[in-house]
Amino acid sequence: MSRNRHRDSNSLKMLPVFKAMVVCVIIGGLAFVYLSQKTRLMRLGDDIKKLEDRIDVVRRQNENLTATIHLLKGPKKIANRTRLLQQGLVPPGEHQFIRVQFRKDAGRYAEITRGGGR
């Protein structure tokens, strides 16, 4: 029998192979994690780009709708609409206005005039 049995054992011959396999598994795992994170980052970048494009579209729609609202609220548009719907609405006459005039020397009291008077 030999003096040192550990020198001839098969487990010592397999140790460098085992270490190389562990190192390869670690490097492979790190590469997989890196690639998966890189892919995830690219997807998130694409999602951000799509959302920014959507924001631009909605902003343009909002501007168009705001312009439409301003057009529809205009006095000419309202007058045309009332004529179209034949509601019988007419602008008020001068005698239907009540004007309140404040004089500087009157203090809290005001002079109320009817009609077109000033």
Number of H helices, E strands in the chain: 2, 2
Helix (H, G, I), strand (E, B) or coil at 110: strand
Region for 110 from its dihedrals, namely left if φ exceeds 0, alpha if ψ lies in -120 to 50, beta otherwise: beta
Q: How far is CA 97 from CA 15, 44, 52, 65, in A?
A: 105, 63, 52, 34
pLDDT (tens digit per residue) in 66-105: 999 988 888 888 878 877 887 777 778 888 888 777 766 6
pLDDT (tens digit per residue) in 21-62: 999 999 999 999 999 999 999 999 999 999 999 999 999 999
Strand partners for 111: 101
Q: What is the pTM of this model?
A: 0.50
